[in-house]
């Protein structure tokens, strides 16, 4: 019996030895590998937190603003928290909410707010008002925060919420008098004053300064002139009346985002503002020829209560000397076409085609004319918006009627050549002036030769 009892013990010992040798010593047994879970990208969070006595609102989601934007995106969870915030404020009429809009030093200033943070706080205030919260229970302000949390070009949060007790206006002390008095209403809280850019008018021995300044509605040209600024303009008027050799240069300021004026006479809003001020100054008695106007692009104009403060600068200087009077009946010479480029073809510009010549007493073009005419065709083809008048001119020798007719024929001959080369007829007009517009006296051979010419005038 003892022999049969030893048999299973020997078999188990043999199995254990085989397993130990194969798996432990040789490491040939298959081992179960650990499953590595893929890393889950962690979502950037900046939770919404609104706390106060008896209130603890929190949401892992929060408001979102486009980078550089002021309009908030309000997730549904945040919208629900705003509903709970309204209920709390309804139950606690002595509390008020302060919204602090956050922005960085690199953020650009929006058109209607002093900074981007105040714009964000104001837009969130509008959202809360639509939820039913009274506007006088909400205070807005701004703070610089250069480490704003940004995810996928969205600012997460962008506005902080704080709840505190409403400021209580102090009760007025009763007046000491024998007569019954009516208690006066407490004065409304005033906003902290913002120091505006002062008005300065200086130069040529004048130095005027006023702590107040002009005001223009944003993107508008009509100035609003405070009484103190009006007094400064009176002083400027008195100075220029005494010093007729001086002038004031009014430079209207505008921003790149300002619209073009409806009046096509003005290239930009700055020039329109300067011209409006010129009208104001002429009504003060300043002569129009003592006022020069121009414009300057400036993108950091001060805006308070939706009004541009300043909007123009004033510099007094000596008047430029008047040009020598022209000789009677002689006009200024036109630009030489050989020195002209396409940039010279601006409205009103006169350009003389010196090399366009004709046979004596004829409207037939000489061969020397075609080089300049082909150059003119090339300019007109590259600038489809240009329209020109071709003018023929003669000296005063001979019969006036014949000279007028010949000048018209020569102008027509040039137009015919241009249309024959493909220039549209509606871009060209011709006119003969005869001897009516000389550029030199007809008393010499050189003067008469200068007057026999062809000019183009850009329409």
DSSP letters spanning 163-209: EEEPPPPPPPPPP--SS--PPPPPPPPPPPPPPPPPEEEEETTEEEE
What's the confidence (pLDDT) of residue 169?
Answer: 57
CATH 3.30.1330.60 fits 199-318, yes or no: yes
Phi and psi at residue 343, in whole multiples of 5°? -65, -20
Contact 55, 88 (CB under 8 A): yes
Query: Taking 70 as the threshold, does the pLDDT of residue 208 lie above it?
Result: yes
What is the rounded CA–CA span in Å between residue 84 and residue 92? 13
By C-alpha distance, which of 127, 80, 81, 77 is closest to 101? 127
Q: Which of 65, 49, 61, 67 is nearest to 124 (CA)?
A: 65
- CA-to-CA distance for 300 and 137, rounded, in angstroms? 32
Q: What is the pLDDT of residues 370-390, one digit of tens each?
A: 999 999 999 999 999 999 999
**The CATH number, out of the four listed (3.30.1330.60, 1.10.260.40, 3.40.50.300, 3.30.365.10), of the domain defined by the range 335-458:** 3.30.1330.60
End-to-end CA distance of the chain: 133
**Which sequence spans correspond to the domains of the chain?**
48-165, 199-318, 335-458
Do domains 48-165 and 199-318 share one topology? The answer is yes
Share of the chain above pLDDT 90, in %: 72
Give the Cα separation of 454 and 363 in Å (integer): 11
Per-residue pLDDT tens digits for 121-173:
999 999 999 999 999 999 999 999 999 999 888 999 999 999 999 876 555 55
pLDDT in tens, 314-324: 999 999 976 55
Q: Which residues pair with 400 in a beta bridge?
A: none
| Rounded Cα distance, 390 and 388, in Å | 6
Q: What pLDDT is recorded for position 338? A: 92
pLDDT at 73 over 80: yes
CATH number of 48-165: 3.30.1330.60
Q: What phi and psi values does residue 254 have, to the nearest 5 degrees?
A: -150, 165
Write the pLDDT tens digit of every residue in 218-274.
999 999 999 999 999 999 999 999 999 999 999 999 998 999 998 878 889 999 999
Decide if pLDDT at 33 tops 90.
no
């Amino acid at each position: 019996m003892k022999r049969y009892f030893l048999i299973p013990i020997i078999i188990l010992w043999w199995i254990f030895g085989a397993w130990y040798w194969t798996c432990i010593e040789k490491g040939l047994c298959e081992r179960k590998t650990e499953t590595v879970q893929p890393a889950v990208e962690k979502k950037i969070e900046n939770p919404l937190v609104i706390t106060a006595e008896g209130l603890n609102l929190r949401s892992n989601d929060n408001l979102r603003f486009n980078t550089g934007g002021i309009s908030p995106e309000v997730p549904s969870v945040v919208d629900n928290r705003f509903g709970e915030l309204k209920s709390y404020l309804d139950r606690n009429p002595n509390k008020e909410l302060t919204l602090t809009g956050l922005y960085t030093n690199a953020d650009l200033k929006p058109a209607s707010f002093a900074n981007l943070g105040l714009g964000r706080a104001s837009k969130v205030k509008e959202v809360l008002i639509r939820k039913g919260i009274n506007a006088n229970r909400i205070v807005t302000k701004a703070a610089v925060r250069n480490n704003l949390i940004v995810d996928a070009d969205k600012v997460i949060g962008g506005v902080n919420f704080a709840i505190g007790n409403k400021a209580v206006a102090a009760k007025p002390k009763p007046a000491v008098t024998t007569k019954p008095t009516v208690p006066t209403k407490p004065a409304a809280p005033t906003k902290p004053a913002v120091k505006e850019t002062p008005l300065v008018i200086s130069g040529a021995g004048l130095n005027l300064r006023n702590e107040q300044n002009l005001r223009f509605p944003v993107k508008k040209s009509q100035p609003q002139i405070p009484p103190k600024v009006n007094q400064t303009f009176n002083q400027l008027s008195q100075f220029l009346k005494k010093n007729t050799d001086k002038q004031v240069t009014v430079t209207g300021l505008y921003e790149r985002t300002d619209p073009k004026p409806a009046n096509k006479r003005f290239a930009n809003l700055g020039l329109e503002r300067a011209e409006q001020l010129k009208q104001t100054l002429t009504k003060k008695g300043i002569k129009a020829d003592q006022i020069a106007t121009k414009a300057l692009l400036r993108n950091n104009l001060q805006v308070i209560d939706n009004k541009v403060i300043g909007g123009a600068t004033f510099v007094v200087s000596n008047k430029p000397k008047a040009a020598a009077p022209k000789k009677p009946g002689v006009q200024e010479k036109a630009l030489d076409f050989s020195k002209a480029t396409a940039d010279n073809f601006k409205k009103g510009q006169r350009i003389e085609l010196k090399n366009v010549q004709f046979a004596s007493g004829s409207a037939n073009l000489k061969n020397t004319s075609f080089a300049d005419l082909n150059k003119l065709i090339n300019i007109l083809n590259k600038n489809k918006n240009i329209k020109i008048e071709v003018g023929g001119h003669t000296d005063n020798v001979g019969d006036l009627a014949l000279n007028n007719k010949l000048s018209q024929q020569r102008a027509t001959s040039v137009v015919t050549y241009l249309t024959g080369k493909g220039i549209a007829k509606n871009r060209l007009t011709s006119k003969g002036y005869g001897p009516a517009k000389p550029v030199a006296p007809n008393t010499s051979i050189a003067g008469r030769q200068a007057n026999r010419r062809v000019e183009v005038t850009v329409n």
